[in-house]
Structure 1
Amino acid sequence: MSENILTGSFKLMKSLNRSAILNKIRNDGPISRAEIAKQTKLTPATVTNIVKELLLSEIIIEKNQGRGVRGRKPTMLVINSSNFHIIGLDIGPKKIHVVLSDLDANLLEKYQTLIPKKITSDGLLNIIKDSIHYVISKKHIDKKKIIGIGVGMHGVVDVEKGLSLFAPSLQLRNIPIKKYLEHEFNMVVKVENDARAMALGEAWFGDGSGANSIIAINIGRSVNAGIIINGELYHGEHFMGGETGHMTIDIDGPRCSCGNYGCLQSYTTGPAIAARAKHEISIGRESILREWVDNDLELIDGKLIHEAAIKGDPLSIEILSQAGKYLGVGLTNLIHVLNPSRIIIGGGVSKAGDFLMDSVKQSIQKRVLEQSANQTEILISKLGDYVTAIGAISLLLVEIFPPDQQSRTSIIL
């Protein structure tokens, strides 16, 4: 294989005509050259020349399938998904998840590591670097076959510069993730806010597929959303689009970490749910939680509350239901402003399932202006703990298969 075609595979895939052909093969393959020319309106000569380049790079391969009208087997084209790889990272408040996948997001390797409580920007970048090297070495992957690295970073991200402007949970600013990783690995690096990366992952490989517009809400230690409108990620003027956790739900509510009062995340995050349980038990409410933590209420967290709810603990069920009620208020606001086709909920709190979702849906049903708005689907993500890392993979795929070339029924980004 030609070295320059291989090392330039990302650029090779990005040209307009190549993207049109790659999209057609990805969405409708196995497909013949003649059918590609017919459906894309490109000339047969153009299709032949570009297909030749793509075959040389091994991005696509030929596959014999079926018979023509005269009994001859037509040569069909398919994406050679298993031949190329992408690295995806989810850099959260406490952990880094790293995955190595093929172009179909089949996860070939997964790895996670804890982030120390007190860490510098340089320290974080070193952990990220070492984690990527580890994943590559585990599978003995040829670096030339890695198209790039996608990063979902919590907090505010300058997408154009690949810069983490502010990571609130780590209290770090201006982390040059893209610059550092591109220098270290000599490959394309895309950096995005974690919730927007999650939305991208849902659109490509989750419940967002086939929807015209979606909102993906990540609820864990904070609340953030990735918003997709007419097939495109919404960033906002200063990359702040999706900061739904700081939507005011009650102006007389508790003080949020941001300094305001009554923010959505003051009612719905894991720490907020745990804080309410501790308060209720401290003023005399009965709960099996007290016994489970041997009266050390500081040991109560969201996961323990969920486990108690499964055991039928009335207080835990009530607290999760109340969190769902407030979340429903916030989602109703989003429905009225953006009117998405679907809202997909992920993150640790989403694991509460029906204990949360029943009251979410009831709250929305009571508050929507029109019954048609109540038809917005509210779903819990099925992509699990690696949804943001999968979304980070999609940051590369969306460059290769740009939205204006794609079939919306297959993918919306």
Structure 2
Amino acid sequence: MVLNVTGSFQLMKSLNRSLVLNIIRTETQISRTEIAKRAKLTPPTVSSIVSELLEEGLIREGEAGASKGGRKPILLSINVNNHYIIGIDVGTEEVRAGLTNLNADVMALHRKKLVPGLKAHEFMEIIEELIETILHEETDFSKIIGIGIGMHGIVDPERGVSVYAPHFGFEEMQMREQLEARFHLPVKVENDARAMALAELWFGEGTDASDIVVINVGDGIGAGFIVKGRLYHGRDQIAGEIGHMIVDLNGRQCTCGSYGCLHTVASGIRIRERVLQELTLGRKTAILDLVQGDKHAITGETVHQAALQGDAYAIEVLEEAGRFLGVGITNLIHMVNPDKIIIGGGVSKAGDFIFTPLRELVEKRVMTKSAKRTEIIPSKLENKGTMIGAVTLVLAELYDYSS
């Protein structure tokens, strides 16, 4: 029997099955006997569960393991390419939807630009169209076990609701309810930065740590906190909104209505705004040459390219953003003292132009010698972090990781 509907998915999550599945996942290859020992289950119980999982195609038998006397045991592993998940990354300018296997390897990718002024129903139509495109390409619909969404803004994952998406102006958008009714698949919805944090914990730079902060620095700035291996949301689902951490009391007004937020000094939008302002004032820079004089074509990537060519102003802009990020990260280290801080998003691609001044400020301002050495590194998931995180939301349910 192949599982593909919400009721079957809940059956997959039965405690012992999920326990066995998670042991196989974390060990990569393991025998039935070892599973029984790790899970503290009887061999007949493990044998029965393994038989079900083999029949459903979730696991597979592989090579024989080393013998400890008697017949060599058959090793079990996750059958990663027999089931799939749809992951959706909602950015401020486009939506990207991918199909992945159970190892979060992206098998197909589609994207759609978002035009300014979209209504909520138009936005949801775009999401549905992208899902439909993937479903039409995947001939065996029954192999898809769920849909995960990393959504811009404030999200209530318990209800599957986009509470407030500031860039779009959407409020109380019932994403899970609408998509489950349409596609009859389980849907998980989470804030994009928290989804990225989950991706780093499972598949990225955070696999060896239990307390991490993952920061997404793009057009906006957000973070996901992993505490003792679990996502931390806060009472009102706003934990991680570090873009609205105040770092300059005399600063510019932010979109949230406050002044001097980190978003106003270190986001991709602010980097572009600052360059445009200085160009208007007659600042000489190679940035304009890279876009053949078209100011509207300037992006954060343009600024990075100019910096790589040695343009003094481009370097100045990126280093200032890095220092302000350093202020924010210093505050985070003093508040949550994580094992590791991982930074992703478009701005992080500027590399040492951002990370060198950031680390220098942290080294100077953090209180203790040990905390000064907090590892601060770029993500290696590149621009797939949020999508992989969205997929991981479904995987966490499959393996009952939250229990």
Range class of TM-score, shorter chain: over 0.9
| Residue range with higher mean Cα deviation, 54-63 or 248-257 | 54-63
Q: Match for 2:287 among 274, 286, 289?
A: 289
Deviations, residues 47-81 of structure 1 (Å, cap 9, x unaligned): 12222222222211222414535563322221111
Alignment of 1:54-93 (within 5 A): 54-66=53-65, 68-69=67-68, 72-93=71-92
Report how far residue 314 of structure 1 moved: 0.3
The separation in 2 between residues aligned to 1:403 and 1:133, in whole angstroms, is 29
Cα separation, partners in 2 of 1:156 and 1:68, compared to 1, 3 Å: same
If the length of structure 1 is used for normalisation, what is the TM-score? 0.93
Cα distance change on mapping 1:29 and 1:380 into 2, 3 Å: closer
Gaps (5+ residues) in structure 1? 406-413
Aligned to 2:331: 333
- Mark the runs of 5 or more structure 2 residues left unpaired by the alignment: none
1:357 aligns with 2:355: yes
CA contact (8 A) 2:230 2:402 kept: no
- Write the deviation string for residues 104-155 of structure 1: whole angstroms up to 9, x where unpaired: 1111111111112121111111110110111222243x12111100000000
CA distance in 2, matches of 1:286, 1:29: 56
- C-alpha distance in 1, partners of 2:199/2:320? 29
Contact kept, 8 Å, 1:86 with 1:103, in 2: the verdict is: yes
Work out whether residues 29 and 76 of structure 2, in 8 Å CA contact, stay in contact via their aligned partners in 1: yes
CA distance in 2, matches of 1:216, 1:338: 12
Once the 2 structures are TM-superposed, how far is the Cα of residue 236 of structure 1 from its aligned partner?
0.8
Percent identity, please.
45
Structure 1 residues 29 and 202: CA distance shift in structure 2, 3 A:
closer
What's the secondary structure of 1:363's corresponding residue? Answer: helix
1:300-379 equivalences in 2 (<5 Å): 300-379=298-377
8 Å Cα contact 2:4/2:144 also seen in 1: no
Contact 1:200 1:391 in 2 (8 A): yes
Question: Which among 145, 150, 157 is matched to residue 152 of structure 1?
Answer: 150
User: For the structure 1 residues 38 and 173, does the alpha-carbon distance in structure 2 shift closer, same or farther, using more than 3 Å as the test?
Assistant: same
Q: How many Å apart are 1:215 and its aligned residue? A: 0.9
Does the C-alpha gap of structure 1 residues 404 and 98 become closer, same or farther in structure 2, counting only changes over 3 Å?
closer
Q: Which residue of 2 aligns with 1:276?
A: 274
Query: Which residue number corresponds to residue 173 of structure 1?
Result: 171
Write the letter of the residue equivalent to 1:207. Answer: E
Match of 2:33 in 1: 34
- Provide the residue aligned with 1:123 in structure 2: 122
The answer to whether the 8 A contact 2:247-2:262 is kept is: yes
CA distance, structure 2, for counterparts of residue 77 and residue 291 of structure 1: 58
Give the residue type in structure 1 aligned to 2:118: I
State the AA in 2 paired with 1:63.
G
Structure 2 equivalent of residue 133 of structure 1: 132
Q: Is the 8 A contact 2:218 2:268 kept in 1?
A: yes
State the alpha-carbon separation in 2 of the partners of residues 78 and 292 from structure 1. 50
Q: Distance in 1 between matches of 2:101 and 2:307?
A: 39
Once residues 225 and 29 of structure 1 are traced to their aligned partners in structure 2, the CA distance between those partners, rounded to angstroms, is 30
Q: Distance in 2 between matches of 1:69 and 1:339?
A: 44
1:266 maps to which of 259, 264, 267: 264
1:188 paired to 2:186? yes
Counterpart of 2:217 (choices 219, 232, 235) is: 219
Q: Deviations over 1:6-62 (max 9, x none)?
A: 645522331221121111111124222111111221111221222222222221122
**SS of the residue aligned with 2:257?**
coil
Residues 161-203 of structure 1 show CA distances to partners (whole Å, capped at 9, x for unaligned) of: 1111111111111211101110111011000000000101111
> In 1, are the aligned partners of 2:31 and 2:65 still within 8 Å (CA)?
no
Q: Per the alignment, do residues 298 and 29 of structure 1 end up closer, same or farther by CA in structure 2, a change over 3 Å counting?
A: closer
The aligned counterpart of 1:408 is none
Write the distance in 2 (CA, Å) between the matches of 1:112 and 1:20. Answer: 35
Q: What secondary structure sits across from 2:255 in the alignment?
A: coil
State the secondary structure of the residue aligned to 2:150: strand
State the Cα deviation string for residues 332-390 of structure 1 (Å, max 9, x = none). 00010001111111111111111111111011111000111112111111111121010
- The Cα shift of 1:297 comes to 4.1
* CA RMSD after TM alignment: 1.8
Q: Distance in 1 between matches of 2:311 and 2:149?
A: 39
- State the Cα deviation string for residues 241-268 of structure 1 (Å, max 9, x = none): 1100000001111111111111001001
Supply the AA of the counterpart residue of 2:327: V
Q: What is the alpha-carbon distance in structure 2 between the residues aligned to residue 404 and residue 166 of structure 1?
A: 25
| TM-fit CA distance, 1:400 | 2.1
Sort the Cα spacing of 1:311 and 1:56 in 2 relative to 1 into closer, same or farther, 3 A: same
Residues in 1 aligned to 2:385 and 2:171: alpha-carbon distance in whole angstroms: 25
Specify the alignment match of 1:238 in structure 2.
Answer: 236
| Matching residue of 2:390 | 392
SS at match of 1:81: coil
Residues 240-249 or 292-301, more deviating: 292-301
Quick one: distance in 2 between partners of 1:6 and 1:207?
Answer: 31
CA drift of 1:403 comes to 3.9
Name the SS for the 1:382 alignment partner.
coil
Contact preservation (8 Å) 2:4, 2:145: no
Q: TM-score w.r.t. structure 2 length?
A: 0.95
| Range that drifts further, 6-15 or 99-108 | 6-15
Tell me which amino acid in the other structure corresponds to 2:333.
I
**Per-residue displacement from partner, 1:381-408 (whole Å, max 9, x unpaired)?**
1111121010000001111224477xxx
Q: Are 1:201 and 1:390, in contact at CA under 8 Å, matched by a contact in 2?
A: yes
